[in-house]
């Protein structure tokens, strides 16, 4: 028996189900799988941007509270403003921290890999690429996020083809 589009619908996050983008509409139509998958990708992109633009508390967590590293207390990234983006060691550190933050706080993604494009000394931006698989049934969906860090403002912008 073939599987119908309704049987393959994607469940959105609790936050997205609570947000009402169209309050004047009292009943939401049931979205097709392709539409709900597109909405899920947009939701993940939005949440990644929030994650990358949030700074962790300075000083970190005391050793005896190491479980707190996986809690909302450590949501976000460390402050990278003192690092040199031209330094290979600093780039490796930034790449590692982004990968860890995405793995820890974006549970809808698996197989997360971050790559940094070569940095030109004349540019005030850094390009990252976040490759992962979106956890959806019946099979994970490959997804790529093109990410730009504006060095002047410290703001990240995340884009994807949806």
What pLDDT score does 1 carry? 47
Q: What confidence score (pLDDT) does residue 122 get?
A: 67
Q: Report d(CA 31, CA 11) in Å as an integer.
A: 10
Q: What is the pLDDT of residues 57-106, one digit of tens each?
A: 877 777 787 787 777 888 999 888 777 777 889 889 999 999 999 999 99
User: Residues 91-150: pLDDT tens digits?
Assistant: 899 999 999 999 999 999 999 999 998 777 667 788 899 999 999 888 899 999 999 988
| 125-130 long-range Cβ contacts below 8 angstroms, 24+ apart | 125/149, 125/150, 125/151, 126/85, 126/151, 128/95, 128/98, 130/48, 130/98, 130/102, 130/158
Q: Report pLDDT for 144.
A: 95
| Per-residue pLDDT at 5 exceeds 60 | no
Mean pLDDT (whole number) for 35-42:
84
Which secondary-structure segment (H or E) carries 86?
Answer: none
Q: How far apart are CA 98 and CA 79, in angstroms?
A: 12
Is 80 exceeded by the pLDDT of residue 29? Answer: no
* Per-residue model confidence (pLDDT) at position 9: 56
pTM as predicted: 0.79
Considering only the top CATH level, what class is 5-20+28-159? alpha beta
Cα dihedral 54/60/66/71 (nearest 10): -20
Q: How confident is the model at residue 3 (pLDDT cuts 50, 70, 90)?
A: very low
Q: What pLDDT is recorded for position 54?
A: 93
């Amino acid at each position: 028996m073939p599987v119908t589009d309704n049987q393959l619908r994607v469940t959105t996050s609790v936050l997205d189900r609570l947000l009402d983008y169209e309050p004047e509409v009292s009943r939401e139509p049931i979205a097709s799988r392709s539409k709900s998958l597109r909405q899920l990708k947009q939701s993940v992109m939005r949440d990644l941007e929030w994650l990358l633009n949030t700074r962790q508390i300075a000083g970190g967590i005391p050793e005896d509270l190491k479980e707190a590293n996986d809690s909302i207390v450590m949501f976000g990234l460390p402050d990278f403003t003192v690092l040199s983006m031209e330094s290979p060691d600093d780039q490796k550190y930034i790449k590692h921290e982004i990968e860890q933050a995405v793995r820890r706080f974006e549970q809808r993604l698996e197989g997360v890999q971050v790559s940094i494009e070569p940095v030109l000394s004349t540019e005030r931006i850094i390009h990252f690429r976040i490759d992962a698989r979106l956890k959806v049934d019946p099979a994970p969906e490959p997804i790529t996020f093109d990410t730009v860090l504006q060095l002047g403002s410290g703001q990240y912008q995340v884009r994807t083809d949806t």
